[in-house]
Structure 1
Amino acid sequence: MFLEKLKHIKAFILDVDGVMTNGMLLVTESGEFLRQFNIKDGYALQLAVKRGFKIAVVSGARSKGVEHRLRGLGITDIFLGLDSKTAAYNEFMEKNGLLPEQVLFMGDDIPDLELMKMAGLAVCPADAVEEIKAAAQYISPKNGGDSCVRDIIEKVLKIQNLWISADPSSADGSKI
């Protein structure tokens, strides 16, 4: 069932902190917040963009550094500083003519719960909070910031024959 759903994915919507990063913030003396991104996630994201997938990032974070990193990967639908992520989700869906079953959302914490219920396929990193894990249809074996984004994008691209090889692995982590 999980692998079958991957065949219909045309878009990814991702949270930042706790998904694309490990959720830790380094605060500089000047008050800047620094985040660490995983280069493997970056490779998968830019490849998905090149393969024609739509990608949106939704986050409560307000960071020029985050936006700069995402734009460098070819991501143009970047929604930062959000109090609620549903308006951004709806805007992205309408703009791209997407149906919920064509969208995969990855979140890790309570502010992501509503989108977990709205997206056709809800996934999360291994270290997501329990409420998010309960709503997820797939729990990556990878933690946030430790290539969990790569894990799910690679599975989608493989099942759609858009990766280097097409074996998404039978150890898919889906719930039974």
Structure 2
Amino acid sequence: MEEKSYKVYLNDITTLIFDVDGVLTDGTVTVTSSGEMLRKMNIKDGYALKAAVNKGYNVCIISGGTNEGVRKRLQGLGITDIFLGAHQKIVQLEAYLTQKNVKLEHVLYMGDDIPDIPVLKQVGLSCCPQDAAYEVLEICKYISHVDGGKGAARDVIRQVMKVQGNWDQDFDAKYD
């Protein structure tokens, strides 16, 4: 049986859910002498996340990390559904979808490592950056051509929004 192209799922996506470390960041952490852990986030991913929020998509973050700086950055983009310290991501996913009354087939999830696998196996469109863990690469319907923290989130958001007619064509000229 031939595998369906990931593109057949794009029209049905209403909800975009992302992991943080390795997806919205490049997965590296700089540790300061005081023990603070610093992460870098890609501004183009941020722009696409904000565009999705502004167009009415459900945008959610489910991460095992607990960095409050990450929460502040994402809140600044207009994201209100941010779940940090979520070590059982599937439990958080189910609660979120029940709260929002969203079906799994309408969900795109992007993760990069083993804790993301239970969620990736359940959602309508499982995605990962090209530098995701091997086990994740094996199961995702879409593998971005971009690494985590380098625009992988923007890649999938842009594709969903373009197919649905929600990506302003001027965005590409201004920001790509």
Report the TM-score range of the alignment, normalised by the length of the smaller protein.
over 0.9
Report the Cα offset of residue 4 of structure 1. 2.0
TM-score by length of 2: 0.92
Q: Is there any run of 5+ residues in structure 2 with no aligned partner, and where?
A: 171-176
Amino acid at match of 2:82: I
For 1:171, the equivalent position in structure 2 comes to none
CA distance in 2, matches of 1:149, 1:160: 17
Q: 1:115 aligns with which of 119, 123, 132?
A: 119
SS at match of 1:95: helix
Aligned length: 166
Q: 1:79 aligns with which of 59, 83, 86?
A: 83
1:55-134 maps to which residues of 2 (within 5 A)?
Answer: 55-134=59-138
Question: Aligned residues: percent identity?
Answer: 45
Is 1:161 aligned to residue 165 of structure 2? Answer: yes
Is 1:5 aligned to residue 19 of structure 2? Answer: no
CA distance in 1, matches of 2:59, 2:83: 11
Report the Cα offset of residue 92 of structure 1. 1.0
Q: 1:27 aligns with which of 17, 28, 31?
A: 31
CA distance in 2, matches of 1:47, 1:8: 18
CA deviation profile, 1:1-26 (whole Å, cap 9, x unmatched): 32221000000110000000000000
Report the Cα offset of residue 82 of structure 1. 1.7
CA distance in 2, matches of 1:91, 1:47: 25
Q: Is there any run of 5+ residues in structure 1 with no aligned partner, and where?
A: 167-176
SS at match of 1:7: helix
TM-score by length of 1: 0.92
For 1:170, the equivalent position in structure 2 comes to none
CA distance in 2, matches of 1:7, 1:94: 21
Amino acid at match of 2:163: I
CA distance in 2, matches of 1:2, 1:128: 17
